[in-house]
Amino acid sequence: MNRLVAFRDRQVEPAINTPFFAELLSGNPTTRAWRIVTADDGQVSSGFWSATPAKWRMDYKVWEFCQILDGTCVITPDGDAPQEFGPGDTFVCEPGLCGTWEVTSPLRKAFVIRRI
């Protein structure tokens, strides 16, 4: 088993429009997820994700590291101020994070998800 995986060396077909949000609030998003690497136990996965503009409610059940590669989004945790993210921004969404996620321009991000 190779212990070093370069994403550029992996060709993966994306999963298209996989349901992942609690409730769609506006728009008609097209989403794509390229899972490049998944741990043997299935608990950790990483890859790329993209979405067209839309807004939905989120209710995180996983831990996720995100790095925005292209586009912009606004994340508004329940009871907290909105935060805008764009290319180069990195953040973590922890289990229990609820609120809204709005893609304001076509978005592409790298992710690492850990199932809890």
* Ranges of each domain in the chain: 7-115
pLDDT at 95 (0 to 100): 97
Q: Is 81 helix (H, G, I), strand (E, B) or coil?
A: coil
> Which architecture characterizes domain 7-115 according to CATH?
Sandwich (2.60)
- For residues 37 and 63, give the distance between their C-alpha atoms in angstroms, rounded to a whole number: 16
Q: Which residues on adjacent β-strands are paired with residue 54?
A: 27, 103
- For residues 90 and 51, give the distance between their C-alpha atoms in angstroms, rounded to a whole number: 17
Which residue matches tokens 């935060």? 83
pLDDT at 75 (0 to 100): 98
pLDDT at 1 (0 to 100): 55
Q: Which amino acid does the sequence have at 102?
A: E
**Which positions of the chain have pLDDT values less than 70?**
1
pTM tops 0.85, yes or no: yes
pLDDT at 9 (0 to 100): 86
